[in-house]
Chain A
Amino acid sequence: MKYAPLNLGRWILWSATALLFLAAPQVFKGGFALTMLTQMGTLILFALSYNMLLGQGGMLSFGHAVYSGLGAYVTVHVLNLMGKGAFYVPVPLLPLVGGLAGLFFGVLFGYVTTKRAGTTFALISLGVGEMVFACVLMFPGFFGGEAGISTNRVVGKPFLGVSFGPAIQVYYLVAVWCFLGMAAMFALTQTPLGRMANAVRDNPERAEFVGYNTQHVRFLQLVLSSFFAGVSGALSCLNFEIVSAENVSAIRSGGVLLATFIGGVPFFFGPILGAIVFVFFIVALSGFTKAWLLYLGLFFVLMVVYAPGGMASLILMQFPVMRAGRWRELLVPYALAALAALVALAGLIGLVEMVYRLSEQGASTVLTLLGISFDARSAPPWLAFAAVLGAGLAALRSAARRVGERWGAIQLELQAKAQ
């Protein structure tokens, strides 16, 4: 990391991000796109707050939804009390309420969870998450049980003429909070605490010898992270106008882990990419196939095995090669590998969809993929798809070897030139 007096690239990047937030609803028009964009904004904030633990602090948490979910619950109650006229908080400031709630529970649970690091921390965070989930179901009076608590975000006088009734206004509210949160979390990585969190992640023993209490550093990092999680919970509460037990569930916690990891844990902007892809999987793909979770899980496992740095690392790897002007040599191997992967994917999708159709009771066993109809109860389609999958995998293997050889040769030449 260089300490330049004025980092021009960084200013350009952040301005471009702000413009992107501003322009996105104008480019992607329609209610469906707006729903997706709003959800992406919320999840970006949530995933970034998660990465404060996993990426920057080395804490693998399986219960992060606790903080966003409880933040959302507090927000929904504040909103309902406002509806009854008990008091008045401007709606744009409600995420702050959710954030403070998240912070409070971060202090409460963080004291227990951050006592240990590593694998034990992961287990304890899971246990605390399950405990909160069980409690939510246990007190239906406050938490509304399985059905949850619904609310109405249009309360009181409009704030500066904005009522937050229309979805587009909610989008811009989410966008502003998301941008502010992104900036704040990036700034936090530059503070002494952010740096110490990295040190505690990489070598806790040395951090202790330097004179820092690792448990205290983990605790502070978790508390700050749960503040941002609470903000994102409040935003999702404003967006959906309902908060239920699902908001604190292990499914939510697992989801944010998947999104963050797919995006790329070692980089600040990784979770942003991951959140965008994840929402795409959830919202867009779930409309097409009921097996979307299987595809998502498979994608995640493949990333864990082959690209532990996530999509961000795959993208960043290309830059040195591009700068050296050698990227053109890789284009053909990349295209071949992509083609082989597509073939394998087609075979896999065919098999999965057939299995699914057979297990569904009462559904027709005749499927239509790419305009071709076939019966899942007959043998030929099974053989055909298995053959396509096999051929695709074999082709992918040889294509990947070609990419690897070319890549290795270029790296060697670049290294030789650098010396």
Chain B
Amino acid sequence: MEFFLVQSLNGISYGLLLFMLSSGLTLVFSLMGVLNFAHASFYMLGAYLAFQVSTRVGFWPALVLAPVLVGAIGMLVERWGLRQVHRHGHVAELLFTFGLAYLIEEAVHLIWGRSAVDYRVPAELDGPLFQIIGSQYPIYRGFMMLVSVAMLVSIWLALTRTRIGLVIQAALSHPQTVEALGHNVPRVFMLVFGGGAALAGLAGVIGGNAFVTEPGMAAAVGPIIFVIVVVGGMGSLAGAFIASLLIGCMQTFAVSLDWSLAGISIAQVAPVLPYLLMVLLLIFRPKGLMGTREG
């Protein structure tokens, strides 16, 4: 029983982290039609910048500074890169972000080296939060959940209750009308792209020390968040939320269960499960869990 409880909590915290990544991706996709291939690279950049900042001034300033920096980089990329490519169409935009992912990975190699850096959980968050029948639950996992939930609630409030949020929502469906009403839609795009990058950066700050900060982290998590976007249905935030929790729990449970079938244990199969889920879903429900577009 306590195994089930602890693993569910772990799965939910991992799922929430995945949702922090996939929500930014989904927002950018539904607003600009751009699938940002470099999204996971922004996640990695967030972790590395947080490591760099935290060695100088500590973890708490890094929690704020690193996402802001990553968001600024995202805005620069949108303004001076993506916007130039926009006239060549969506494939060119996708390829641009693909090339960008290459560049960011190589830049990380160049600056921080090829092995993992020592980015640790701060001392005040290190230790058990509570105990359930013998197994301890770390504080940091709870902190991760807290940050993710706080961020999600604030995004939801920002999107539904503030003026800029309403403009973004309107620009999602009727960009021409919004432009005719006098709003600067390209600037909205830039803000949203930067915001998505900042979200990924924040996920990197809290995910980098919970897992490991290394140059392969973008390539490891990237395909998973794309699978989430496909499984949830392209452009659907609610779908991405369900798919994130589903895949987060699925992977956590698969790694920790020691059942086996025909000589292959569940833990061995764990890396394939998300992709298998995607393939099955595509066969039986091609538009994804909550998707509306059929393309």
Q: Give residues in A with beta carbon < 8 Å to B.
A: 58, 60, 62, 112, 115-120, 122-124, 126-128, 130-131, 134-135, 137-138, 250, 254, 257-258, 261, 291, 293-294, 296-298, 300-301, 304-305, 308, 352, 355-356, 359-361
Which residues of chain A have C-beta atoms less than 8 A from B99's C-beta? Answer: 258, 297, 300-301, 304
What is the CB-to-nearest-CB distance from A385 to chain B, in angstroms, rounded to a whole number? 15
Which residues of chain B have C-beta atoms less than 8 A from A128's C-beta? Answer: 275, 279
B96–A123 CB distance below 8 A? no
B88–A298 CB distance below 8 A? no
A294 to B104: give the CA distance in the assembly, Å. 9
Q: Given A254-B102, A293-B102, output 7 extra A-B contacts at Cβ < 8 Å.
A: A62-B98, A112-B283, A137-B271, A291-B110, A300-B102, A301-B81, A301-B96
B276–A131 CB distance below 8 A? yes
Which residues of chain A have C-beta atoms less than 8 A from B219's C-beta? Answer: 250
A246 to B113: give the CA distance in the assembly, Å. 22
Chain B residue at minimal CB-CB distance from A295: B106
Which residues of chain A have C-beta atoms less than 8 A from B151's C-beta? Answer: none
Q: A127-B279, A293-B106 are in contact. Are A361 and B113 (CB under 8 A)?
A: yes
Chain B residue at minimal CB-CB distance from A121: B295
Q: Give residues in B with beta carbon < 8 Å to A.
A: 29, 35, 81, 84-85, 88, 90-92, 94-96, 98-100, 102-103, 106-107, 109-113, 219, 223, 226-227, 229-230, 234, 264, 268-269, 271-272, 274-276, 278-279, 282-283, 286, 295
Q: A127-B279, A128-B275 are in contact. Are A305 and B269 (CB under 8 A)?
A: no
B286–A115 CB distance below 8 A? yes
Which residues of chain B have C-beta atoms less than 8 A from A301's C-beta? Answer: 81, 96, 99-100, 103
Partner of A118, one of B112, B113, B295: B295
What is the CB-to-nearest-CB distance from A52 to chain B, in angstroms, rounded to a whole number? 16
Chain B residue at minimal CB-CB distance from A122: B94
Partner of A356, one of B92, B100, B110: B110
Which residues of chain A have C-beta atoms less than 8 A from B90's C-beta? Answer: 118-119
Which residues of chain B have C-beta atoms less than 8 A from A134's C-beta? Answer: 271-272, 275
Which residues of chain A have C-beta atoms less than 8 A from B111's C-beta? Answer: 355, 359
Main secondary structure of the interface of A (DSSP, over half): helix
Q: A116-B282, A359-B110 are in contact. Are A127 and B226 (CB under 8 A)?
A: yes
Q: A122-B35, A127-B227 are in contact. Are A304 and B85 (CB under 8 A)?
A: yes
A258 to B106: give the CA distance in the assembly, Å. 15
Chain B residue at minimal CB-CB distance from A63: B223
B295–A126 CB distance below 8 A? no
Which residues of chain A have C-beta atoms less than 8 A from B229's C-beta? Answer: 123
Which residues of chain A have C-beta atoms less than 8 A from B282's C-beta? Answer: 112, 115-116, 124
What is the CB-to-nearest-CB distance from A148 to chain B, in angstroms, rounded to a whole number? 19
A130–B283 CB distance below 8 A? no
Between-chain CB contacts (< 8 Å), 19 pairs: A115-B282, A115-B283, A116-B295, A119-B295, A123-B227, A123-B229, A126-B226, A127-B230, A130-B223, A131-B279, A138-B264, A138-B268, A138-B269, A297-B103, A300-B99, A300-B102, A304-B85, A304-B95, A355-B110
A138 to B263: give the CA distance in the assembly, Å. 12
A62 to B37: give the CA distance in the assembly, Å. 11
What is the CB-to-nearest-CB distance from B180 to chain A, in angstroms, rounded to a whole number? 28
Which residues of chain B have C-beta atoms less than 8 A from A293's C-beta? Answer: 102, 106, 109
Which residues of chain B have C-beta atoms less than 8 A from A112's C-beta? Answer: 279, 282-283
Q: A116-B286, A122-B35 are in contact. Are A294 and B110 (CB under 8 A)?
A: yes
Which residues of chain A have C-beta atoms less than 8 A from B81's C-beta? Answer: 301, 305
Chain A residue at minimal CB-CB distance from B104: A297
What is the CB-to-nearest-CB distance from B215 to chain A, in angstroms, rounded to a whole number? 11
Partner of B234, one of A119, A308, A356: A119
Chain B residue at minimal CB-CB distance from A308: B88
A120–B230 CB distance below 8 A? yes
Chain A residue at minimal CB-CB distance from B223: A130
Which residues of chain A have C-beta atoms less than 8 A from B295's C-beta? Answer: 116-120
Chain A residue at minimal CB-CB distance from B81: A305
A134 to B113: give the CA distance in the assembly, Å. 26
Which residues of chain B have C-beta atoms less than 8 A from A257's C-beta? Answer: 95, 98
A60–B94 CB distance below 8 A? yes
Q: A127-B226, A127-B275, A134-B271 are in contact. Are A254 and B98 (CB under 8 A)?
A: yes
What is the CB-to-nearest-CB distance from A418 to chain B, in angstroms, rounded to a whole number? 26
Chain A residue at minimal CB-CB distance from B84: A305
Which residues of chain A have C-beta atoms less than 8 A from B107's C-beta? Answer: 294
B92–A308 CB distance below 8 A? yes
Q: A119-B35, A119-B90, A123-B229 are in contact. Are A131 and B272 (CB under 8 A)?
A: yes
Which residues of chain A have C-beta atoms less than 8 A from B278's C-beta? Answer: 124, 127
Which residues of chain A have C-beta atoms less than 8 A from B274's C-beta? Answer: 127
Which residues of chain B have C-beta atoms less than 8 A from A254's C-beta? Answer: 98, 102
A250 to B92: give the CA distance in the assembly, Å. 19
Which residues of chain B have C-beta atoms less than 8 A from A135's C-beta? Answer: 272
Q: A119-B90, A257-B98 are in contact. Are A294 and B103 (CB under 8 A)?
A: yes
Chain B residue at minimal CB-CB distance from A296: B102
Q: A304-B92, A305-B85 are in contact. Are A291 and B106 (CB under 8 A)?
A: yes
What is the CB-to-nearest-CB distance from B117 to chain A, in angstroms, rounded to a whole number? 11
Which residues of chain A have C-beta atoms less than 8 A from B113's C-beta? Answer: 359-361
A254 to B95: give the CA distance in the assembly, Å. 10
A60–B102 CB distance below 8 A? no
Which residues of chain A have C-beta atoms less than 8 A from B98's C-beta? Answer: 62, 254, 257
A296 to B98: give the CA distance in the assembly, Å. 13
A112 to B283: give the CA distance in the assembly, Å. 7
Which residues of chain B have C-beta atoms less than 8 A from A60's C-beta? Answer: 91, 94-95
B234–A130 CB distance below 8 A? no
